[in-house]
């Protein structure tokens, strides 16, 4: 076992609770967690998709059928996992979908569903594991966000709004639970071919926003982002689990720093350019 017992307080194996465990990055992570000897409570909308892991790993694998938007079901699933494994050491909120569409194109139902899964689903699981983690005074919470949780691109506004909400909640949470030796990390994947968008609900395109979709695809082509290997992310998430003092944010993939430097320098430049408005609002003499 590679997790330091002084970190998570375990001498034998750690217990993980992973949502979205049946496909994409989550499927790679589930297998890696079990391969190294840890316990896993794996949640998916269809528990039958997890049967191969249950067959292979036996009692160390708990398959849970779970819709993360159902708060009562989330509470029950976490309780089941805690009873089975005597606590949860690491929570990974990976369940989510990616709604592509301009802000005006997205229906009200689609917008609510996007927030329900990507933000509220993570909120409910986070809240469900916190009492046990606080009681044991240890734990890790890993929130799967996105580079789009830090930068907003056209035709992804509602998806990115769900990730920005997750970012704000998680940053505040990190400060709230640090006193209990609970660490919160936001994982920011950049570009991985997992079929996420293809498997997600999509807005009906409106010709009025063809330019927005073209700008999104052109931006992706010119960004310098290179698709990463989804299987390789398993090594990264295990390394995070073993780090004594994990970061609040970490990029999964390369070339994201250049995009963030451009984004943040542009924000600061804009705020400085319009600082005279800030002073006007304050009631200070206007200097332009």
What are the catalytic residues? 145, 159, 163
The CA distances from residue 270 to 111, 266, 273, 279, 284, in Å, are: 29, 6, 5, 15, 20
Residues in a beta bridge with 19: 43
Buried-exposed string 42-51: b where 16+ CB fall within 10 A, e elsewhere:
bbbeebebbe
Note the residue count of the chain: 288
- What is the residue whose two structure tokens read 């009692």? 59
Q: Going by C-beta distance under 8 Å and a sequence separation of 6 or more, which residues neighbour residue 153?
A: 160, 215, 216, 219
Bridge partners, residue 63, by sequence: 42
CA distance readout (Å), 151 to 41, 47, 73, 159, 234? 32, 34, 32, 12, 24
Spacing of C-alpha 16 from chain mean position = 15
CA–CA gap between residue 19 and residue 67 (Å, rounded) = 9
């Amino acid at each position: 076992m590679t997790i330091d017992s002084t970190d998570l307080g375990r001498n034998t194996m750690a217990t993980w609770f992973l949502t979205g465990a049946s496909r994409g990055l989550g499927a790679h992570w589930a297998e890696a967690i079990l391969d190294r000897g840890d316990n896993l409570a794996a949640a998916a909308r269809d528990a039958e998709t997890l049967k191969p892991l249950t067959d292979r790993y036996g009692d160390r694998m708990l398959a849970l059928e779970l819709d993360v938007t159902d708060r009562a079901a989330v509470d029950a699933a976490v309780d089941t996992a805690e009873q089975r494994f005597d606590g949860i050491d690491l929570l990974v909120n990976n369940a989510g979908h990616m709604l592509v569409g301009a802000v005006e194109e997205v229906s009200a139902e689609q917008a609510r569903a996007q927030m329900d899964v990507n933000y509220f689903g993570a909120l409910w699981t986070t809240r469900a594991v916190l009492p046990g983690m606080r009681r044991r005074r240890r734990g890790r919470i890993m929130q799967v966000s996105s580079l789009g949780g830090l930068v907003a691109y056209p035709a992804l506004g509602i998806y990115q709004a769900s990730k920005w909400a997750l970012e704000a909640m998680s940053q505040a949470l990190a400060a709230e639970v640090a006193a209990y030796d609970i660490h919160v990390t936001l994982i920011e994947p950049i570009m991985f071919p997992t079929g996420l968008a293809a498997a997600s609900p999509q807005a009906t395109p409106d010709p009025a926003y063809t330019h927005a979709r073209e700008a999104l695809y052109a931006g992706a082509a010119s960004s310098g982002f290179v698709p990463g290997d989804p299987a390789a992310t398993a090594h990264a998430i295990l390394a995070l689990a073993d780090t004594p003092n994990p970061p609040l944010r970490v990029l999964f993939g390369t070339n994201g720093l250049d995009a963030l430097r451009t984004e943040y320098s542009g924000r600061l430049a804009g705020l400085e350019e319009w600082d005279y408005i800030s002073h006007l609002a304050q009631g200070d003499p206007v200097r332009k």
